[in-house]
A and B are shown apart, each in its own frame.
Chain A
Amino acid sequence: MDMLELVLLLLSVSVIAGFVGAVFGIGGGVLIVPALTLLLRIPVRVAIGVSLISVVATSAGASAAFVRDHWTNLRIAMALEVATVSGALVGAALAGVVSPRVLEGLFALAMLVSAVEMLRRHERHETQRQCDRVARFLRLGSSYPSESGPVAYGVRRVPLGAVLMSVAGLASGMLGIGAGVLKVTAMDSVMGLPFKVSSATSNFMIGVTAGAGALVYLARGDVSPILAGPVALGVAGGALAGSHMLVRANVRLLRPAFVVLLLFVAVEMAWRGLRGG
């Protein structure tokens, strides 16, 4: 295989991972790590480093429009980033010492959580208006745009949200994923934010969380530039196309099939971890 064929192969795999991840709202990282390890036989630690860079690129591209349109709550994002970045640093440091078999097993678990969360995902339609004491002090309450004008919403249980965010950061730094599923759940179910605000704010935070992990991997020499270059371009491009498709397509019908695929890959990763690569 020559260089052109290799680059095209990496681009194709990454575009598909980014596209499918965006369409189903779980991000490209959950798919690109198993694609690199299971299909292209790249060691899991290298795949995680590569994935983190692609997650940063995807977040930067996808979150810009949400921030401009005021869907993202910047104050919540910046307050909770202290927790996610701390978690990501611990996760990335741990990934350097934990055996690849453990990483593969944990990755299978993360895929399982994503699959379960996809099945039970639902949007709450009532909007909470009141802020609790901590949220009032930090002035976290805001509004989101709607056809009938801005709709105000409140925020609650910030400390508990921060604890869950540190777990999301740990998963991100350790496994090379955005951990958006955990972040959205923390903001939507625990802090009472509207679903789309949670989703947009999570997307924005993912960049810094994955960036923190990526810095550790880069400084440690665990990011291969020849892989990360085409993969970052492919995943970000695929995610951009996927997010446009998401607006038009009804993906609910495809969701069960995708969950089955996630479970299958999770079993493959777990099996690989058990038998040692």
Chain B
Amino acid sequence: MRADSGDSVLYVWTPRILRTALACGAALLVTGLCVMGATDPGSYVAEYRALQHGGPAAHAIHVGQLVHQVAHGRGRALLVAGLLVLTLVPIGRVAFAVVVFALEHDWVFAGLTSLVLALLCVGVLLGQIG
């Protein structure tokens, strides 16, 4: 298996993708917490208290709105962006694997990884329905 060039590419690049995305997500989370602490610490505490009493965990995410708020340095939006980056890490590495297997004409694994990618997209739809 290790002799296959496609697999070798995956063994080299997958750890890099994972580490880079993890660092980006963590940086966004730390920045978000710092900005919230500096600008609106009261809302953090209020939201935490509300959660303990059964308040809503979050609101639906609108990508356009999120990008706009991140660009304006809103703490909560930076936190949400950090969480999105972390959640998208595994999707990114599956998408990368699809491309590598397709380029290597390894159609069985290109199919299997595409199916995983499709299932992950179904996850977003399931959440929006539920």
Contacts and interface: CB of A to CB of B under 8 A. Distances in A.
Contacts of A1: 45
B13 to A, nearest CB: 10
B83 A225 contact: yes
B30 to A, nearest CB: 7
B94 A67 contact: no
Contacts of A225: 32, 58, 76, 79-80, 83
A110 interface: no
Interface in B69-85: 76, 79-80, 82-84
A229 B89 contact: no
Main DSSP-derived SS at the B contact region = helix
A70 interface: yes
Interface in B26-72: 26, 29-30, 32-33, 36-37, 41-42, 44-45, 47-48, 51-52, 54, 56-61
B52 to A, nearest CB: 5
- Chain A interface residue bracket vs B: 35 or more
Nearest to B16: A64
Interface string B84-105: 1011111101100100000000
A66 B41 CA distance: 39
Interface residues of B, number: 67
A86 B33 CA distance: 34
B1 A49 contact: no
B51 A56 contact: no
B127 A68 contact: no
A212 B79 contact: no
24 contacts: A3-B44, A3-B45, A49-B57, A56-B89, A59-B90, A64-B15, A65-B15, A78-B109, A79-B112, A139-B1, A207-B18, A208-B93, A208-B94, A211-B87, A215-B124, A216-B130, A218-B84, A219-B128, A221-B59, A226-B76, A227-B48, A229-B33, A229-B79, A236-B26
Interface of B: 1-2, 4, 7, 10-12, 14-15, 18-19, 21-22, 25-26, 29-30, 32-33, 36-37, 41-42, 44-45, 47-48, 51-52, 54, 56-61, 76, 79-80, 82-84, 86-91, 93-94, 97, 108-109, 112-113, 115-116, 119-120, 122-128, 130
